[in-house]
Structure 1
Amino acid sequence: MEGCQNSQKGYECGKMILGIEFGSTRIKAILIDQNHEPIVSGSHEWENQYVNDFWTYSLESIWVGLQDCYSKLADAFNQKFQHPLSAVSAIGFSAMMHGYMPFGKDGDLLVPFRSWRNTTTGQAAEQLTELFQFNIPQRWSIAHLYQAILNGESHVADVRYLTTLAGYIHWKLTGRKVLGIGDASGMFPIDGSSQNFDRHMMELFNSKVAEKNYPWRLEEILPEVAMAGNPAGFLSEEGARLLDPSGRLQAGIPLCPPEGDAGTGMVATNSVAEQTGNISAGTSIFAMIVLQNKISKVYPEIDIVSTPAGKPVAMVHSNNCTSDLNAWVELFHEFSSAIGQEVSQPEIFERLFQKALEGEADCGGLLAYNYFSGEPITRLEEGRPLFVRMPDSRFSLANFMRMHLYSAIATLRIGMDILFIDEQVRIGQLLGHGGFFKTKSVGQRIMAAALNVPVSVMETAGEGGAWGIALLAAYMLNKGSGESLESYLSKRVFTGAPGSTIYPDQEDVRGFAVFMGRYKEGLIIEKTAVQSMK
C-alpha cells in the first residue's frame, strides 16, 4: 500500500493492529505497530444515563460513539501518513465488564442495556451465592437475569442470547457469539479445569428456574467462551460498514476474543502471571490479584474471575472512585472562570492533586463519601456524595483535596484487607493505571499509603485498555507454538519498559489508617443520607 509506509519504524498500514475499548466515560481506539508501540489514537466522550431506575447506555450512543471514535483515529492516521486507513492485520474489542444485554430471536435488545453500575440485583446475588456456594456480585450478568426472573419481567421468556457490551459489539461486527474468558467470568462462574462456564452451577440454575418453563436452558443463551490467542471470527462486510461508514475499511480482518476492561487492564500492566496484580482507578476502581492458591471461603467482597488466559483472579471492585473528585475539580474550574482567571482543567487537576500532598496525613479530621451510585462492599443500594467535618476539623485546601483522594480508594481498602489480612495473600507490588494516576506521583503515593504496598506506573499505562486489547490481538497473530500470554508480554512487550515505583511512606500509612477508622465509623451518616434523601 503505497504512501503508507514508515521504513524507520518498520510498519505498514496493513500490518498494524487496532484495539478499541468502551470505558465508562470514554471510548478509545488505538493503532499499534509490529513492536506493540502506539501509532495514532482516537476517542469519543460519553456518559451513562439514569433511565427508569437503571444506569444505561443507549444502542444509538454505542454505535455513534464507536463510529466517531474510529473516524477520529482514521483522520489522525490520514494526517500522519497522507493516506486513508483501509486495512489492519487484526482487531480487538473490549468494554466494561458485567451488565445485562438480553436479545430475542430476531436479534433485538429486549430491555435497555443495564450496566455494571446498577445495584438493583441484591436479592438475586444473595440467593445465587447461596445456591452456588460461590460469590455472585450484583454486577454479574447472571444476577441481572435472575433478578429479572424474580421480578416477573415478561421479557425473560423471549431471551435467546445474553452477552456483555464487548460481546454485543463483536457479535454485530463478526456474526460470532463469542466472549473472551476474562469477560465471560464476569457473566457466570468459570470452571478452571474445563476453562468454560461451570456446568454443575448451570445445572443448579436450570433446576432453580425449571418451574418457570422457559423455552431455553442457560447453556443455550450464553456465548461461547474463548481463550486469549484463539481466533474469534472475521470482520464482515456489514461489520466493516458499522465500524467505518465511509466504506474505506476492508472486510475479512481477523478479530481476537472480545474482553472486559479488567482483563485488558491486566494485559496493559503485564499483570497476568501468578502473584502479580494491578489497580484500575477511574470512574470505578478495582484491584486484580492473580492467585497462586484458592482463597479459603466465599467472601461477598471478593469476585473470583479469570485472566484472559484463564488463570483465577481475586477481584475487589468498588463502583465509585473519581466521579466525586472530578465534580469538585470542575467546581474549582468554574470558580476560575467566574473571577476571570481562566485555567485549563488539566492544570487545575495538576495543581489540586499536588496540593493534596501538602495536607496532613489524616486529612485534618475531614471526611467524605464519594458514592454517586450504590456500593455493594458497604451494603448500599444507592449513593449520596457527602462531605462531612467537625467544628474543630482543620479545613484547608490541602486537607480537602487529600481527603477526596483518600475517599476515592477507601472502599477498595475494605475489600483488600480481606485478601491481605484474612487470606494472607502476598504480592510484591501493584501496577496502577487509570485517571487517578495521571498526575505524576500523587495517585501512586496515596495508593501506596492506602494499601501499604509499592505501586508502580508504567509510561504506557495512559494508553489503557485499548492498548491492552490491541496486545491481545497481537498475541493471537504472533504467538509462537506453545507460547503463553505471560511469556509473550514479558519477553516481547514489556522488556525494559520504562516506569516508576513509589514505596509506602509510613507517616502516610498511619494517617490513612486514622482516616479509615473515621470512614468506617461514619458510614452510618452515608446510610442515613440514602434512607432520608429519596
Structure 2
Amino acid sequence: MNVDLKTYIESGKAVLGIEFGSTRIKAVLIGQNKEPIASGSYTWENQLVDHIWTYSLDSIWNGLQKCYLDLLDDVKKKYDCKIKKLGAIGFSAMMHGYMAFDEDGNLLVPFRTWRNTITQEASERLTELFDFHIPQRWSIAHLYQAMLNKEEHVGKIKSLLTLAGYINWKMTGKKVVGVGEASGMFPIDIKTCDYNEEMITKFEKKAQEKGYEVSLRSLLPKVACAGEMAGQLTKEGAAKLDVTGELEAGIPVAPAEGDAGTGMVATNSVRPRTGNVSAGTSVFGMVVLEKELSKVYDAIDLVTTPSGDLVAMVHCNNCTSDLNAWINIFKEFTKLFKMDISTDELYKKLYKNAMNGDADCGDLVAYNYFSGEHITGFEEGRPLFVRTPESKFTLANFMRTNLYASLSVLKTGFDILFKQEGVQIDKIYGHGGLFKTKGVGQNILAAALNTPVSVMETAGEGGAWGMALLASYLIDKKEHQSLADYLKDEVYKNNIGIEVLPEKKDVDGFNMYIDRYTKGLEIERAAVGVL
C-alpha cells in the first residue's frame, strides 16, 4: 500500500478526468506527478433509434455513475481509502453532435451523435455561406438541417449543447465548453478565443430567411480557454456523479473538452508544428498550424487546441475494422486445428511479419471501407482485397497491404496539408490500437507521412488522462504559463517517447502503393454500385 498516495487522495488533492468515448466511459485519477494512480471504466454502446445513432439520457447517467463507482473500487483496493474531495475535475466526450433543450431544460429530440450522416445539405450550404468547411458532424450543421427539414422542435430550442457541454452543465449549473470542443460546434475566431462573430451574423440572417428568429449566442454554450474556470461542482452535480454521497461540492471544474482536444494533451501535441494520429476503429490526424490554410478543403476540418491554436484535422471513418476481421479469420483457422494461440499473439506475429513484405506490398491493394469516406468521395463502402495474377501474394504482403489500407485515406488528407499547403511539422505522436505492436503501425505511419513518429507509453491512458491534465492545469499553472509549456515542464519533461524516423525505401513503397490505391478507387466505386 502506498501511504503517500493514500494521504494525497484523502487530503483532496488528487485530480480527476472523465471521458465519454464511443464504446467506453473512462475515469483517471492523477497524483502529484500527473501520473495515473487509479482508474475506472464502464462499457456502453450507442443505439440506432428511428434511423438516428443516439445514447439515451438514462444510459449517460447510468454509465457515468457506474464508471465513478468502478474508480472508487480501484481506489479502495489500492489505497484503502475513499474520495471525498478533489483538487479539480474535468469532463470530456466524443466531439460534435446535437443536444437541443427547451426553456425548462428538457431534451427536445434524442441526442444525435457525431456518427450520424444526415446533414449533407446543411453541411454543403453552410460551407458555401461561411467559405469555411462545415462537416456533417458539427452541431451547427445539425441545427441548420433541422431548420431545412422544418422540424417542429426547432422553434422551442433555448440551448444547444454537445455531450461534454451537457455534462458540464449538469455538474456545475453553467453552460460552458472548452474552445476545442466549441470549435466542433461552430467556427472559432482564434484571435478572440470565441465564436466567429461574422459567421454568427450570416447564420442568423440565413435562419431568418427560413422563418427562424435565432440568437445563436444565446443558444450556444460559452467558450473558455484551457486554464479558465468552467464552474464548481454543485451539490446536485456531486450527487449525480457519486451515488454513495461521499463526494463534496465546490470542486473547481475545467472547461469541458472533446476527445480531439484531450488526445492532443495526452500526446503532448498542442504546440504549433506538432500533431497526433489516433488510430483505432476510425482514424484521425491533427496538426497544429502556424498559419491559416490558403483555401477551403472538404477533406480538412479546422478546429482548435484547448488553448485556442488553429488545428487542421483529417478525419477518416475506417481504420482497423477490416484488419480485425482478417485477424478473426486467422483465429478461426487456429481453432479449427486446435492451436492454442491467443488473439494478442496473433496480432503481434502477423503484424510483425508484415514488415517482411515488399515496401510497395507486392502489387496488392485493399480498401477497408466498412462505411463511406468523404475524403475519397464515398457515401457507402465495401471492404475489398484486390490482386492481379502477377501480384506477389504472400502472407507478409497481404498483412502489409491491409496495414497500408488502414492509413491510406489519412495519407490522402495529409498530402493536401504537406504538398499543397506546405505545412511544416516536426513530429507526429501516435496513439491507439494500431500502435500497440512495436515497430509496425508506428513505422508504417512514418512512411505514409514521411515524418518522424513518436509513441509514448502514457498515450495508452487516453483522453480521460488528457482531461485530468487539463483540470490539473486549471489549478497548478504558473502565472502566464501556457498549456504547451505546462505540459513540457510539468508532465513530459522525462517522457519524450520512442521516436521512429521514416526510411526512404518505405516512403517510396507507400507512395507507389498509394498511386495504385488511388487508381483502383474505381473498383471500390463499382463494388458499391453492384454489391
Match of 1:27 among 25, 28, 40: 25
Tell me which residue corresponds to 1:11.
Answer: 8
Match of 1:359 among 352, 357, 366: 357
Tell me which residue corresponds to 2:146.
Answer: 148
Instruction: In structure 2, give the amino acid aligned to 1:7.
Output: D
Structure 1: gaps of 5 or more residues: none
Instruction: In structure 2, give the amino acid aligned to 1:113.
Output: F
Q: CA deviation at 1:338?
A: 4.3
CA distance in structure 1 between the partners assigned to 2:64 and 2:245 by the alignment: 15
Instruction: In structure 2, give the amino acid aligned to 1:311.
Output: D
Between 400-409 and 40-49, report the one with greater CA deviation.
40-49
| Local SS of the residue matching 2:375 | helix
Between 507-516 and 339-348, report the one with greater CA deviation.
339-348
Tell me which residue corresponds to 2:66.
Answer: 68
Q: CA deviation at 1:384?
A: 2.7
1:1-51 Cα shifts (integer Å, max 9, x gaps):
xxx973379833311111111222322211100110110112223333344
8 A Cα contact 2:372 2:380, kept in partner: yes
| Local SS of the residue matching 1:267 | helix
CA distance in structure 2 between the partners assigned to 1:334 and 1:233 by the alignment: 52
Aligned-pair identity (%): 58
Query: Alpha carbons of 1:244 and 1:127: their partners in 2 closer, same or farther (altered >3 Å)?
Result: same
CA distance in structure 1 between the partners assigned to 2:91 and 2:482 by the alignment: 21
Between 359-368 and 6-15, report the one with greater CA deviation.
6-15
Tell me which residue corresponds to 1:275.
Answer: 273
8 A Cα contact 1:432 1:444, kept in partner: yes
Query: Alpha carbons of 1:63 and 1:525: their partners in 2 closer, same or farther (altered >3 Å)?
Result: farther
CA distance in structure 2 between the partners assigned to 1:5 and 1:355 by the alignment: 42
8 A Cα contact 2:28 2:36, kept in partner: yes
Match of 2:308 among 299, 307, 310: 310
Q: CA deviation at 1:495?
A: 0.7
Query: Alpha carbons of 1:239 and 1:526: their partners in 2 closer, same or farther (altered >3 Å)?
Result: farther
> Where do residues 466-481 of structure 1 align in structure 2 (5 Å cutoff)?
466-481=464-479
CA distance in structure 2 between the partners assigned to 1:488 and 1:87 by the alignment: 24
Between 425-434 and 47-56, report the one with greater CA deviation.
47-56
Q: CA deviation at 1:202?
A: 0.7
Match of 1:255 among 253, 256, 263: 253
Tell me which residue corresponds to 1:245.
Answer: 243
Match of 1:213 among 203, 211, 214: 211
Tell me which residue corresponds to 1:530.
Answer: 528
TM-score (norm 2): 0.95
Q: CA deviation at 1:498?
A: 4.7
CA distance in structure 2 between the partners assigned to 1:470 and 1:74 by the alignment: 16
TM-score (norm 1): 0.94
8 A Cα contact 1:174 1:234, kept in partner: yes
Instruction: In structure 1, give the amino acid aligned to 2:488.
Output: S
8 A Cα contact 1:6 1:12, kept in partner: no
CA distance in structure 2 between the partners assigned to 1:136 and 1:148 by the alignment: 15
Between 235-244 and 328-337, report the one with greater CA deviation.
328-337
Is 2:473 aligned against 1:482?
A: no
8 A Cα contact 2:372 2:378, kept in partner: yes
8 A Cα contact 1:120 1:381, kept in partner: no
Query: Alpha carbons of 1:343 and 1:166: their partners in 2 closer, same or farther (altered >3 Å)?
Result: farther
Q: CA deviation at 1:264?
A: 0.9
Instruction: In structure 2, give the amino acid aligned to 1:79.
Output: K
Tell me which residue corresponds to 1:425.
Answer: 423
Match of 1:192 among 190, 193, 209: 190
> Where do residues 5-404 of structure 1 align in structure 2 (5 Å cutoff)?
6-7=3-4, 11-13=8-10, 14-214=12-212, 216-404=214-402
1:234-291 Cα shifts (integer Å, max 9, x gaps):
2222222322222222222221000011111111111111211111212222221111
| Local SS of the residue matching 1:29 | strand
Instruction: In structure 1, give the amino acid aligned to 2:126.
Output: L
1:346-381 Cα shifts (integer Å, max 9, x gaps):
232222221221222222233222222332212222
CA distance in structure 2 between the partners assigned to 1:529 and 1:159 by the alignment: 42
Instruction: In structure 1, give the amino acid aligned to 2:265.
Output: V
Aligned length: 530
CA distance in structure 2 between the partners assigned to 1:52 and 1:515 by the alignment: 41
| Local SS of the residue matching 2:268 | coil
Instruction: In structure 2, give the amino acid aligned to 1:11.
Output: Y
Q: CA deviation at 1:109?
A: 2.4
1:322-357 Cα shifts (integer Å, max 9, x gaps):
222223323333443444334333232222221221
8 A Cα contact 1:459 1:498, kept in partner: no
Query: Alpha carbons of 1:186 and 1:335: their partners in 2 closer, same or farther (altered >3 Å)?
Result: same
Tell me which residue corresponds to 2:413.
Answer: 415
| Local SS of the residue matching 2:308 | coil
RMSD: 2.0
Instruction: In structure 2, give the amino acid aligned to 1:44.
Output: Y
CA distance in structure 1 between the partners assigned to 2:492 and 2:185 by the alignment: 30
| Local SS of the residue matching 1:162 | strand
Between 9-18 and 153-162, report the one with greater CA deviation.
9-18
8 A Cα contact 1:44 1:68, kept in partner: yes
